Chains A and B, each alone.
Chain A
Protein backbone atom coordinates (compact mmCIF):
# COMPACT_ATOMS: atom_id res chain seq x y z
CA UNK A 1 0.00 0.00 0.00
CA UNK A 2 1.22 3.51 -0.78
CA UNK A 3 0.18 4.81 2.60
CA UNK A 4 -1.90 7.90 3.24
CA UNK A 5 -1.69 10.23 0.26
CA UNK A 6 -2.16 13.95 0.62
CA UNK A 7 -2.27 16.64 -2.02
CA UNK A 8 -0.96 19.12 -2.70
CA UNK A 9 2.34 18.88 -0.79
CA UNK A 10 2.70 22.64 -0.79
CA UNK A 11 0.13 25.39 -1.24
CA UNK A 12 0.70 29.11 -1.31
CA UNK A 13 -2.38 31.29 -1.53
CA UNK A 14 -3.45 34.84 -0.95
CA UNK A 15 -5.51 35.85 2.03
CA UNK A 16 -9.21 35.53 1.32
CA UNK A 17 -8.88 32.72 -1.18
CA UNK A 18 -10.44 29.29 -0.78
CA UNK A 19 -8.07 26.41 -0.10
CA UNK A 20 -8.90 22.71 -0.46
CA UNK A 21 -6.65 20.00 0.92
CA UNK A 22 -7.13 16.39 -0.16
CA UNK A 23 -6.51 13.04 1.46
CA UNK A 24 -6.69 9.42 0.37
CA UNK A 25 -6.53 7.11 3.40
CA UNK A 26 -5.04 3.64 3.47
CA UNK A 27 -7.37 1.11 1.88
CA UNK A 28 -9.36 -0.77 4.52
CA UNK A 29 -8.96 1.87 7.21
CA UNK A 30 -12.23 3.16 8.62
CA UNK A 31 -11.04 6.13 10.67
CA UNK A 32 -9.63 9.36 9.29
CA UNK A 33 -8.15 12.32 11.09
CA UNK A 34 -7.17 15.83 10.06
CA UNK A 35 -4.43 17.50 12.11
CA UNK A 36 -2.74 20.88 12.01
CA UNK A 37 0.86 21.35 13.13
CA UNK A 38 2.54 24.63 13.99
CA UNK A 39 5.74 25.44 15.81
CA UNK A 40 3.85 27.15 18.60
CA UNK A 41 1.07 24.64 19.22
CA UNK A 42 2.44 21.35 17.91
CA UNK A 43 -0.05 18.82 16.54
CA UNK A 44 -3.74 19.58 17.01
CA UNK A 45 -6.64 17.34 16.04
CA UNK A 46 -9.11 19.22 13.87
CA UNK A 47 -11.68 16.55 13.05
CA UNK A 48 -12.15 12.79 13.23
CA UNK A 49 -14.27 10.62 10.94
CA UNK A 50 -15.30 7.03 11.56
CA UNK A 51 -16.91 5.10 8.71
CA UNK A 52 -17.16 8.38 6.75
CA UNK A 53 -19.17 10.06 9.51
CA UNK A 54 -17.73 13.04 11.43
CA UNK A 55 -17.47 11.98 15.07
CA UNK A 56 -15.68 14.92 16.66
CA UNK A 57 -15.15 18.28 14.99
CA UNK A 58 -14.56 20.27 18.17
CA UNK A 59 -11.00 20.99 17.06
CA UNK A 60 -12.09 22.85 13.95
CA UNK A 61 -11.04 26.39 14.77
CA UNK A 62 -13.74 28.39 13.04
CA UNK A 63 -16.62 28.21 10.62
CA UNK A 64 -14.11 29.00 7.91
CA UNK A 65 -12.94 25.40 8.21
CA UNK A 66 -15.00 22.50 6.88
CA UNK A 67 -14.23 18.85 6.17
CA UNK A 68 -16.02 16.19 4.19
CA UNK A 69 -15.61 12.50 3.61
CA UNK A 70 -17.92 11.52 0.74
CA UNK A 71 -16.60 7.96 0.64
CA UNK A 72 -14.14 5.66 2.35
CA UNK A 73 -11.27 6.58 0.05
CA UNK A 74 -11.38 10.36 -0.03
CA UNK A 75 -11.60 13.35 2.29
CA UNK A 76 -11.20 17.09 1.92
CA UNK A 77 -10.42 19.91 4.30
CA UNK A 78 -11.53 23.31 3.06
CA UNK A 79 -10.65 26.74 4.39
CA UNK A 80 -12.74 29.63 3.11
CA UNK A 81 -11.71 32.40 3.30
CA UNK A 82 -8.11 31.68 4.22
CA UNK A 83 -6.14 33.93 6.58
CA UNK A 84 -2.39 34.24 7.26
CA UNK A 85 -2.82 32.60 10.69
CA UNK A 86 -3.98 29.44 8.94
CA UNK A 87 -0.44 28.91 7.70
CA UNK A 88 0.67 25.53 9.01
CA UNK A 89 1.31 21.94 7.98
CA UNK A 90 -1.92 19.98 7.70
CA UNK A 91 -1.73 16.23 8.17
CA UNK A 92 -4.23 13.57 7.33
CA UNK A 93 -4.01 10.23 9.13
CA UNK A 94 -5.98 7.01 8.93
CA UNK A 95 -6.38 3.93 11.09
CA UNK A 96 -8.44 0.80 11.42
CA UNK A 97 -10.69 0.97 14.44
CA UNK A 98 -12.40 -2.30 15.40
CA UNK A 99 -15.96 -1.85 16.58
CA UNK A 100 -16.13 -0.77 20.20
CA UNK A 101 -12.64 0.69 20.44
CA UNK A 102 -11.90 4.33 20.94
CA UNK A 103 -9.43 6.30 18.88
CA UNK A 104 -6.50 4.46 20.44
CA UNK A 105 -5.42 2.39 17.46
CA UNK A 106 -2.28 3.40 15.58
CA UNK A 107 -2.78 6.19 13.09
CA UNK A 108 -0.69 6.30 9.93
CA UNK A 109 0.11 9.80 8.77
CA UNK A 110 0.45 11.25 5.31
CA UNK A 111 3.34 13.52 4.42
CA UNK A 112 1.32 16.63 5.04
CA UNK A 113 0.39 19.75 3.11
CA UNK A 114 2.38 22.85 3.93
CA UNK A 115 -0.01 25.79 3.60
CA UNK A 116 1.22 29.35 3.39
CA UNK A 117 -1.33 32.16 3.30
CA UNK A 118 0.15 35.51 2.34
Chain B
Protein backbone atom coordinates (compact mmCIF):
# COMPACT_ATOMS: atom_id res chain seq x y z
CA UNK B 1 0.00 0.00 0.00
CA UNK B 2 1.35 3.43 -0.94
CA UNK B 3 2.01 5.53 2.13
CA UNK B 4 3.68 8.83 3.00
CA UNK B 5 4.67 9.53 6.58
CA UNK B 6 5.88 12.88 7.84
CA UNK B 7 7.65 13.86 11.00
CA UNK B 8 7.45 15.62 13.28
CA UNK B 9 3.71 16.16 13.39
CA UNK B 10 4.27 19.67 14.75
CA UNK B 11 7.25 21.85 15.50
CA UNK B 12 7.86 25.17 17.24
CA UNK B 13 11.08 27.06 16.58
CA UNK B 14 12.48 30.50 17.26
CA UNK B 15 12.67 33.03 14.48
CA UNK B 16 16.05 32.89 12.75
CA UNK B 17 16.68 29.22 13.57
CA UNK B 18 16.93 26.41 11.04
CA UNK B 19 14.73 23.32 10.96
CA UNK B 20 14.36 20.10 9.01
CA UNK B 21 11.15 18.28 8.21
CA UNK B 22 11.12 14.61 7.24
CA UNK B 23 9.12 12.57 4.74
CA UNK B 24 9.31 8.78 4.32
CA UNK B 25 7.39 7.07 1.57
CA UNK B 26 6.59 3.64 0.22
CA UNK B 27 5.09 4.74 -3.11
CA UNK B 28 6.15 2.58 -6.01
CA UNK B 29 7.08 2.92 -8.82
CA UNK B 30 8.31 6.34 -7.81
CA UNK B 31 7.88 9.29 -10.17
CA UNK B 32 8.31 12.49 -8.20
CA UNK B 33 7.95 14.08 -4.81
CA UNK B 34 6.61 17.54 -4.05
CA UNK B 35 6.70 19.66 -0.96
CA UNK B 36 3.74 21.97 -0.49
CA UNK B 37 3.35 24.85 1.94
CA UNK B 38 -0.15 25.49 3.25
CA UNK B 39 -0.84 28.70 5.12
CA UNK B 40 -3.79 28.71 7.51
CA UNK B 41 -7.03 29.18 5.63
CA UNK B 42 -5.45 28.83 2.20
CA UNK B 43 -4.80 26.12 -0.33
CA UNK B 44 -1.43 24.35 -0.61
CA UNK B 45 1.26 25.95 -2.77
CA UNK B 46 4.08 23.94 -4.34
CA UNK B 47 7.59 24.67 -3.04
CA UNK B 48 9.68 22.12 -4.90
CA UNK B 49 9.38 19.03 -7.04
CA UNK B 50 12.02 16.32 -7.11
CA UNK B 51 12.37 13.48 -9.57
CA UNK B 52 14.23 10.20 -9.17
CA UNK B 53 17.56 11.57 -10.39
CA UNK B 54 17.60 14.69 -8.23
CA UNK B 55 19.24 14.71 -4.80
CA UNK B 56 18.90 18.34 -3.80
CA UNK B 57 16.82 21.28 -4.92
CA UNK B 58 16.59 24.75 -3.44
CA UNK B 59 13.94 27.42 -3.52
CA UNK B 60 15.20 30.43 -1.62
CA UNK B 61 15.57 29.48 2.04
CA UNK B 62 13.95 26.09 1.39
CA UNK B 63 16.15 23.14 0.42
CA UNK B 64 14.70 19.74 -0.33
CA UNK B 65 16.71 16.54 -0.46
CA UNK B 66 15.76 13.14 -1.81
CA UNK B 67 17.28 9.73 -1.20
CA UNK B 68 15.48 7.41 -3.59
CA UNK B 69 17.29 4.37 -2.19
CA UNK B 70 16.01 4.83 1.34
CA UNK B 71 12.80 6.49 0.13
CA UNK B 72 13.30 9.52 2.29
CA UNK B 73 13.05 13.24 1.67
CA UNK B 74 13.71 16.22 3.87
CA UNK B 75 12.82 19.90 3.69
CA UNK B 76 15.33 22.19 5.35
CA UNK B 77 14.34 25.75 6.18
CA UNK B 78 17.18 28.17 6.80
CA UNK B 79 16.95 31.30 8.92
CA UNK B 80 13.27 30.84 9.63
CA UNK B 81 10.87 33.76 9.45
CA UNK B 82 7.47 34.28 11.05
CA UNK B 83 5.92 33.86 7.60
CA UNK B 84 7.23 30.30 7.47
CA UNK B 85 4.56 29.34 9.99
CA UNK B 86 2.39 26.91 8.04
CA UNK B 87 1.75 23.26 7.39
CA UNK B 88 4.21 21.52 5.07
CA UNK B 89 2.86 18.60 3.09
CA UNK B 90 4.86 15.94 1.28
CA UNK B 91 3.16 14.50 -1.81
CA UNK B 92 4.49 11.53 -3.75
CA UNK B 93 3.45 10.51 -7.26
CA UNK B 94 3.83 7.13 -8.87
CA UNK B 95 4.80 6.66 -12.52
CA UNK B 96 2.01 6.67 -15.04
CA UNK B 97 -1.44 7.72 -14.03
CA UNK B 98 -2.00 6.74 -10.45
CA UNK B 99 -3.25 8.64 -7.47
CA UNK B 100 -0.83 10.89 -5.70
CA UNK B 101 -0.29 10.04 -2.05
CA UNK B 102 -0.35 12.82 0.52
CA UNK B 103 1.39 12.95 3.85
CA UNK B 104 -0.61 14.37 6.76
CA UNK B 105 1.79 17.28 7.05
CA UNK B 106 4.05 18.95 9.61
CA UNK B 107 2.64 22.01 11.32
CA UNK B 108 5.45 24.52 11.83
CA UNK B 109 5.16 27.50 14.12
CA UNK B 110 7.89 30.13 14.13
CA UNK B 111 7.82 32.36 17.19
CA UNK B 112 9.62 35.66 17.79
Contact = CB atoms under 8 A, between A and B. Distances in A.
A106 interface: yes
A45 B93 CA distance: 13
Contacts of A55: 97
Contacts, number: 50
Interface stretch (B54-62, B78-86, B98-106): B98-106
A102 B89 contact: no
Interface of A: 4, 41-45, 55-56, 58-59, 91, 93, 102-104, 106-107, 109-112
A103 B102 contact: no
Interface of B: 31-32, 34, 41-46, 49, 89, 93-100, 102-105
Contacts of A102: 31, 93-98
A56 B96 CA distance: 14
Q: Which of A41, A58, A104, A107 is the most central at the interface, judged by chain B CB atoms within 10 Å of its CB?
A: A104
